Structure 1
């Protein structure tokens, strides 16, 4: 058994409490063995002097798309053969770990093989939860056909994957087929989106009966449904159907937030994706898509405030595409605009662990949990913008007791 000792750290444990100075942390194998003011471990194989920098849990991305390998995703699967797509996706997987994410949830694109490749040590990256292909209605978000096309829809092998299912019987069958393929949860498209070639975020897709069918399949195998939603109508209908996690939620009203709280759902905002497109990628997307990003960005921060008022548990995700994935670590900083630095850190650690149903093993720095650890330069509570520069400010990244990066000096 190997032992690793961290000393002289400021501790942010992910629970939301005040930081604690001059803390030591001992890792035994892949778990945290002890946290305290003074730990004597002369037998430690490695010693990491944090020199007053901050030790905190590894980040968790509750809404990522390994398969969105280009910024403009329309026709994505037609431009990338499956082998090339897989190579790009594995590159994105490693990049996520490079940016401090030690656990992640892929929201439609990666099959169970990506999860298994990480678990078996065949690929570098965060541990994964996957949903395979999202369930979408004909003509809805996930149906990539243009209005001028008459071809039948076909599910891509990899990339941005959806399967079309209309009516409760088809939804039941599609959800069951996903379960058969080894997914961890089910995703449904409950409204329009920013990246689709038709429709807008304000729309409602899928009926209550169809959504309940998906929820019933998930419940039968002790898992859950995540719903792509922007409009208040789609959010409310998802909550009524018993859907557990509501993704994006930018156009949620105050009244709808109260319903979401009553039904016990999470929301998972993805503010960084709009901000980065607006800041850095204006010329790389169509005006149609750019205008949709503009329309939902500020409303997303308003929705987070409504969620905080209502007491909804708030996670967070990146949802970035193409070369913009290199900015993923900054998701914490953008969410802090609404939640404050500590609120955003908790969202991307403890709460996201609950979203993924892995809070018993990760998400906070506690004895017995996985040694998923970041050492961050200085104190991110004083400057949350530190997360936007992972190359210089994430000094050490450890996943399950294994050091992935170390530039502590």
Structure 2
């Protein structure tokens, strides 16, 4: 392994944890919402209970140790320290796979699928489906460094991922992503087709609607999602793409505010039958929030929206390498194959999933792992090291 790659372990100081508990216990709460649902935002009763649990019962040291079961590293790429999990498979013919999270996610999203992907035989699978998994924290997210200049948009992140995979010695690899991870994975497939064997994504928000006549059921479902998102669900995006710095003051100062800002999206975007804790455990939800709180990355993570939707809008990519798409029914906007085909010219795999939402690996780890195996199985060959 290159000398430029340094081992890393998550180690949050006691002072940070003490400060967190103090802030939680001294939260200045607003009055309750005036409705009996989530239509005005995350309900006061639930957020107060989450924050009480966070302060009094949540055991970060145990959760930290659990996350540290994965081997982690940092390496400087393009002037920025990038944090990443790198979990090698015990199976020698494993395929390298880089998986990328989005906002408001983190590497925590993948904690239930890394082991099944790297060691499928321990989970009832086949050694021929094994992966060496690389899971980076996006710049400005989690334990990666925060950009100190503008310009760290999707294309630059994808270029950094290509450098990372080369630095790890992987001459041929696959890539998978959701949310912003889908955009980065798409850009990576477009930029590094010489080495990236194929991409798999779960979201294609950049694919413009192209309805000719009466919409198909697939198109009608996506059009409904687009309208709902624009009308009721996109305020966070407008704020983060226009004034991320202003937002950052409140979220960086208030853990209850940071939690509410993130957890509302786990209500809105998971297949949870009305409540996030129907699909994800309270500790899991807080693990993800912690990666924003302890790193104070509210503003730096939000700036990805400014980079992407702000003054310098990015141009669409054309991906000519093999592509796979999983359509999870509760995705924000479900992908439409016909809308994607102009930008993804070699879609070889398309699957409607029976359940799941935006955080696919987090919500439905078995379905996600099986789907990733199925797509990349057709692209496997002996890997160059």
TM-score by length of 2: 0.30
Q: Greater helix share, 1 or 2?
A: 2
TM-score by length of 1: 0.28
